[in-house]
Structure 1
Amino acid sequence: MQQLTLNEIKEATGGEFVGAAGVELALTGITTDSRKAGDGILFVPLAGERFDGHDFIDGAFEAGSPAALTHKDDIAAPPGRAIVRVADTKRALGDIARYYKRKYNVPTASVTGSVGKTTTKDLMCAVLSERYKTLKTPNNFNNDIGVPLTIFGLEKEHEAAVIELGMNHFGEIEYLASIAEPDVAVITNIGMSHIENLGSQEGIFKAKMEIAERFTEKNTLIVNGDDKFLKTVTSDKYRVIRFGLDKSNDVYAEDIISKGLSGIEFTVVNGKDRFKAEVTLPGIHNVYNALAAVCTGMCFGLSADECAAGLRNCEYTSSRLEIIEHKGIEVINDCYNSSPSSVRAALDVQKNTSQKRRVAILGDVLEMGEFAAKAHYEMGTYVAVCGTDALVTVGENARHIAEGAAAAGMEDIVSYGDTDAAVKDIEKLVCPGDSVLVKASHGMDFYKITEAIKGM
């Protein structure tokens, strides 16, 4: 992080000083974790469901932090330390990030969408990195805490930034976009993720479009033109670029060749310009993600050769169609998150395996609300249609996956109530020669299943 003064923190948050430390005190870092507190680091305590960061302010000071925020009235600063009292510490974190971004601004691209955000983020960064020193969202830091912390990572050498924006309620994308202030934004697709909170796909579409709410003629929105909702996007306020497989899109892919689990090749067509491209992740859905990255690169002035090199050299976040080989077992580790469409895409990918038997270990897709039973049942039908040899379901909603598969004629099905129960039986469920797809929503802790297989 580049320097901010304590007075700038006060200005950014509209807070007030408590304590005697100098207003010109130089800060070189911001943390919400008291274990990372230290000299020059501002501590921002956040109140959560299990812990309240205010309980760790004294510890942050003892570790050397010169200042902290608070939204409580009974917090006092020890000698030589300062506190800035604000209305809400989490909101203040965003206010500081917005101030910091404007002070040390670089051209920025943001990405949101129901599925594919993180992979698309990785590809966008890889493409831009062919020309620019690029900051990107680490891991899955895409919420009202992660986005500010990402922005604080902007250093003097950065020339561009790729920031992922997530949400599960209305208003979140608009708020995060007000902090990141992207010049270019990508919406990957409109699926069913978080439909429990947003009511319908139309609601999800409306929420995702918040990313362009503040856009002007200087901005560009890049959308999946094959998506039934996003293909309707038009604007006289900002530029819209569409990508997809349909030739009606501004940028599209053709001559697609699958390389099995090692990736996919295709030709990118942009008007009269054409170039060969490839990605090292399997699945047709990753062609869409790659096209979004190419469109972003073009908006930032990159050449076709630079875009192709970025796609080819991309390093991906783990647990997204990650192929792991262990003692004759092939694990398709896609356990970070899940949705009905991404389950189908992962099953399609697994069909490319050369292993003797295909096993799908599928867990609950969360936040589906009233759509849960039907959506999981349809996933089960697709498991059977894909010719999967064995199905293991984990969780209450996932029992509907088992029902759908059984109704479609599948016989080798085992169901568990929770992840730990499946882990205990893992050696009964998989064996050498298997291709094992591991996929569920993040809250199902399916990393335990992947680790259990690796420990066999």
Structure 2
Amino acid sequence: MKTEELYQHFLKSPVISTDTRNIIPGSIFFALKGENFNANVFAAQAIEKGAAYAVVDEAAHATSEKCLLVDDVLSALQNLARHHRGQLNIPVIGLTGSNGKTTSKELVNAVLSERYQTFATFGNLNNHIGVPLSILAITSQVEIAIIEMGANHQKEIELLCTIAQPTHGIITNVGMAHLDGFGGFEGVKKGKAELYAYLKAHHGYTFINRDNAFLMEMSLNAGLNKLLYYGTENGNTIKGALKSSDPFIEVEWTNHETSSVVKTNLTGSYNFENILAAICIGDFFDMQPEEINTGLANYEPKNNRSQLTKTDHNTVICDFYNANPSSMTAALNNISALSADQKTAVLGDMFELGPESAAQHELIAKQATESGLDQIIFIGKYFYAFKDQLNGIFFETPAEAANYLQQHLIKNNLVLLKGSRGMKLENLLQYL
């Protein structure tokens, strides 16, 4: 079945399912394959559960007229998304970066939705499957879409751009993330710059943090010419200043015409640049300062990203959705700057660092032990390797750390809880 024909089915059944455990009646089920599964075998089950059609790429599983046979299910999904994107005559903001992607996406959405009917990537559906699903979820009522694009190797952003086809774009930053897949920091820069290359080739607009030397270098190399700058210096489209960040961020900003102050519910001074980015994008789309500030002030952080949580015993900075050396450094700098009688950091291993893993964990461990915190708990095999060299409490597994925390209750502390997603540090929150 060709893309155009499949699209006619999609117009009648404009909801996509990829998991038979959560089939939406009337949806189209795409039988994707993974390393450990082949969803072709569940096609008949998907139809039994109410799917209007099942897209398969193995003829043996095309057992009824409701089974739509294609050459490759993943390619069919991506091509369908490309075709749907071609029918949408709206601005699409492509957003990527090593840190702050999801928070920035949510902030931009919070701002723009004060005036426009917006669509934003749900959660972190930002990969080669998530981006097509996001694009296919955009309806004719949407006026502006914000599409988050993640990557852990080169050419991935390039692929996602061919699907999302952004008219506007922003790279939040480049840092020490996914070093294994990208082949080091220079590889990270090259991979993220694929968004700039797409915007240049398609005459798109780019929002750039002028204070970030790496982004300025990358934008210059890409030859971008439709540029909107934000930062702390004069001459930017949006100039901002961090007024306070203890514990919540307050920003003063100007767009050359008016100056205003906004108080947010975000913690972490590293979110200052994410807030400025959202302001810059809102200003570009002709929003009034009052609308922009309302969107920012009403945004409540969630998903365990820079989320301040009061427990029975402590105040916890829940920042355990993910971690890399850049975000870990920023988080440690932040807690060091905050006011509290007692401070504790509970840090989990950082994944996907490849050959640089040992060196990066040592650097973060040293920074933590030299940051003036009252107590530091390290969790995971990478940090554990330095237990005999550095001060701190070390555990190989979260389960061992949980046992310790149950027996040594932490009270009246400001606690930073941060580590890579695979460490599942959310399980420790109940003991803090």
Aligned to 1:340: 325
Distance in 1 separating the partners of 2:93 and 2:167: 6
Which of 141, 145, 160 is the aligned partner of 2:125? 141
Select 2:335's aligned residue among 350, 359, 362: 350
Query: Corresponding residue for 1:98?
Result: 82
Q: Kindly report which structure 2 residues correspond to 1:15-414, keeping only aligned pairs within 5 A, or say none.
A: 26-78=12-64, 81-215=65-199, 216=201, 218-232=203-217, 233-234=219-220, 236=223, 238-247=225-234, 249-254=236-241, 256-261=242-247, 263-271=248-256, 273-351=258-336, 353-399=338-384, 406=390, 411=391, 413-414=392-393
Shift of 1:273: 4.4
Contact 2:250 2:261 in 1 (8 A): yes
Give the Cα–Cα distance (whole angstroms) in 2 for the partners of residues 381 and 50 of structure 1: 39
1:216-269: CA deviation from partner (whole Å, max 9, x where unpaired) = 574111122222211122355541223223446443322x222412x1222223
In the alignment, structure 1 residue 440 sits paired with structure 2 residue 425:
no
The question of whether the paired residues in 1 share the 8 Å contact of 2:177 and 2:326 is answered with: no
How many Å separate the matches in 2 of 1:292 and 1:426?
39
Q: Deviations over 1:128-171 (max 9, x none)?
A: 01111211111111111111222232233322111110000111
Larger helix proportion, structure 1 or 2?
Answer: 2
1:19 aligned residue: none
Distance 1:382 1:75, change over 3 A: same
Distance in 1, matches of 2:261 and 2:153, equals 39
Cα separation, partners in 2 of 1:238 and 1:259, compared to 1, 3 Å: closer
Deviations 1:280-315 (A, max 9, x none): 212221110011111211222222222222211123
Cα distance change on mapping 1:171 and 1:403 into 2, 3 Å: farther
User: Any idea what SS the aligned residue of 2:381 has?
Assistant: coil
Distance 2:235 2:374 in 1: 39
Residue 345 of structure 1, CA deviation: 1.8
Q: Structure 1 residue 172: deviation in Å?
A: 0.8
RMSD: 2.4
Contact conserved, 2:119 with 2:145, CA < 8 A, in 1? yes
Instruction: State whether structure 2 residue 402 is matched by structure 1 residue 423.
Output: yes
Q: Is the 8 A contact 1:438 1:446 kept in 2?
A: yes
Task: Give the direction of change, closer, same or farther, for the CA distance of 1:202–1:272 in structure 2 (3 Å limit).
Answer: farther
Q: Is the 8 A contact 2:209 2:231 kept in 1?
A: yes
Partner Cα distance (2:119, 2:214) in 1: 30
Could you tell me how far apart the structure 2 residues matched to 1:312 and 1:425 are? 39
SS of aligned partner of 1:425: helix
| Aligned partner of residue 157 in structure 1, secondary structure | coil
Structure 2 CA distance for aligned equivalents of residues 267 and 293 of structure 1:
14
**TM-score under structure 1 normalisation?**
0.87
Mapped to 2, the partners of 1:217 and 1:163 lie a distance apart of 17
> Measured at CA, do residues 360 and 338 of structure 1 come closer, stay the same or move farther in structure 2, by a change above 3 Å?
same
State the alpha-carbon separation in 2 of the partners of residues 443 and 105 from structure 1.
Answer: 39
How far, CA to CA, are the matches of 2:33 and 2:56 in structure 1? 10
Structure 1 residue ranges without an equivalent (≥5) = 1-5, 13-21
Aligned residues: 429
Alignment match, 1:453: 431
In structure 1, distance between residues paired with 2:388 and 2:164: 44
SS at match of 2:154: coil
Separation in 2, partners of 1:201, 1:141:
24
Give the aligned partner of residue 18 of structure 1.
none
Q: Secondary structure at the match of 1:156?
A: coil
- Scaled by the length of structure 2, what TM-score is found? 0.92
Task: Give the equivalent residue in structure 2 for 1:16.
Answer: none
Q: Name the SS of the counterpart of 2:382 in structure 1.
A: coil
Any conservation in 2 of the 1:330–1:355 contact (CA below 8 Å)? no
Identity between Structure 1 and Structure 2 (%): 31
Letter in 2 for 1:239: K
Partner Cα distance (2:223, 2:294) in 1: 34
Measured in 1, the distance between the counterparts of 2:213 and 2:204 equals 23
